[in-house]
């Protein structure tokens, strides 16, 4: 089984990564951390340094762990759904950020779309 973490280079992404590491280590399950998006000006895409930092942290864990970085033109949701279907994911960990009522109304919610579309349990964590 695999713990999948949807990672962004923001505090909520760090919270998801920390919780994913904790769960995978406790359960002795494989950990896959993914950062994905269509590319362009998508602010959720990590740069090379951030990706290397995450990969380095994962390489020091006592479990099998890897970092995947996709910028293939697919949406973040599509990439996550494909990985959930391919990897026998026992739990998907996502980070949530606080939004104003107007922000919730205008921007929609990627977290909501993930919750409604993936076929595995989802753990949503907040940044401190």
Q: What is the pLDDT of residue 36?
A: 86
Give residues with Cβ within 8 angstroms of 56, minimum separation 6: none
Alpha-carbon 126 to chain mean position: 13
Tokens 């579309």 correspond to what residue? Answer: 117
68 Cβ contact list (under 8 Å, min separation 6): 32, 33, 34, 35, 36, 83
pLDDT 10s digits, 10-60:
999 999 999 999 999 999 999 999 998 776 666 567 777 888 999 999 999
pLDDT of residue 106: 47
Predicted TM-score (pTM) above 0.85: yes
List the domains of the chain with CATH numbers: 2-126 (3.40.50.620)
């Amino acid at each position: 089984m695999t713990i999948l973490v949807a990672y962004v280079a923001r505090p909520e992404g760090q919270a998801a990564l920390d919780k994913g590491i904790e769960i995978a280590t406790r359960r002795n399950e494989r950990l896959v951390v993914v950062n994905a998006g269509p590319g362009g000006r998508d602010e959720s895409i990590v740069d090379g340094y951030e990706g290397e930092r995450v990969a380095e942290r994962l390489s020091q864990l006592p479990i099998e762990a890897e970092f995947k970085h996709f910028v293939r033109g697919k949406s973040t949701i599509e990439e996550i759904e494909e990985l959930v279907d391919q990897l026998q994911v026992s739990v998907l960990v996502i980070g949530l950020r606080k939004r104003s009522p107007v922000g919730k109304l205008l921007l929609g919610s990627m977290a909501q779309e993930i919750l409604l579309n993936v076929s595995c349990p989802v753990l949503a964590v907040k940044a401190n």
